[in-house]
Amino acid sequence: MQPEQNTERIRAEAHRLGFEFVGFARAERLDAEARRLEAWLQQGAHGKMAYMENHFDLRIDPTKLVPGAKTVICLTFNYHNPDKQEDAEAPKISQYAYGEDYHFVVKDRLKALLAYMQAEIGEINGRCFVDSAPVLEREWARRAGIGWNGRHTLTIHPRRGSYFFLAEIICDLELVHDDPIRDHCGTCRRCIDACPTEAISPEGYFLDASKCISYLTIELRDEIPAGFKSQMDNWMFGCDVCQDVCPWNRFAKRHEEPDFEPHPDLLGMDRRAWLELTEEVFGKIFKKSAVKRVKYAGLKRNINFLKRPETP
């Protein structure tokens, strides 16, 4: 089959599997992005995420991940859930972690798509990636026409905003490649002005991850620095502030994935219930959740850090 036919068959199957948007980028070395990544690392903006310093060559060259790679297939999977926690005083959790761990849910769909490609098109060498390998996914999404990378550094799709997971298949199949979308942030600074810890640089497009609430509550294994005590905006796992204020997310639609529905008790827990969280309740609420990444002790650390002085 011709690349045009294969491209459309893959796109149609991806939609059938639940992916919302699909784009195709030429697999090539990312020289400009390599320089930006190096500068970001040299400034220490990755905090204590030492793994970001590893496998530099793999991050900037997809042909080192998949020999002979010709295409990076980029896909989005919607996770948006506008439902909020019932108690406005309860410690907050990022909506992407309401349901089952996206690493497994989305990876299973990706594997099914790659299996379809191999069965219907022929012998294909490819690998699936969902935020768990040295892949510069937001740059590939930009190149594949999925969206532009906003001032908060997240990928924004003009018809759906940014509440989605990114996923990739790097393969040695020649397909029709898409064109990038131009930046539509304009003069908007809402994400910059709203960030509780000023993690986004004054002009945007640069995130000091060591100041980001998501980093502090998930990636950081040490104690959270005391200087952030008044800046956490009551987030115990992740943070949605820069997305919540983004005007492009007025186009976001609720997801249709049953696996991303929250545990029946999650949104109803009040502040007191979270302060008194036991390991047994943690295991029940977050049995298959990405929150298990920080374990019970990590979430309790975050909750305790948020305690007001008068809290017994």
- Cα(168)–Cα(59) distance, integer angstroms: 13
β-partners of residue 167 are 75
Q: Strand 92-93 vs strand 235-237: parallel, antiparallel, or unpaired? A: parallel
Identify the three-state secondary structure at position 126. Answer: strand
- Cα(244)–Cα(163) distance, integer angstroms: 9
First to last CA, the chain: 68
Apex CA 290: angle with CA 226 and CA 48, to 5°?
40
- Cα(145)–Cα(88) distance, integer angstroms: 38
- Cα(236)–Cα(153) distance, integer angstroms: 22
What single-letter amino acid sits at 234? Answer: N
Residues 6+ apart with CB under 8 A from 284: 263, 265
- Taking the CA atoms of 113, 119, 120 and 125 in sequence, report the sign of the dihedral they define: positive
Determine whether 278 is exposed, middle or buried from the number of CB atoms within 10 Å of its CB (0-12, 13-18, 19+): exposed
Give me the catalytic one of 61, 87, 108, 131.
Answer: 131
Q: How large is the angle between the packed helices 3-16 and 102-120, nearest 10 degrees?
A: 140
Cα–Cα separations (whole angstroms), residue 248 to 150, 157, 158, 159, 272: 10, 8, 7, 8, 35
Active-site residue, 108 included: no
Which active-site residues does the annotation give?
Answer: 131
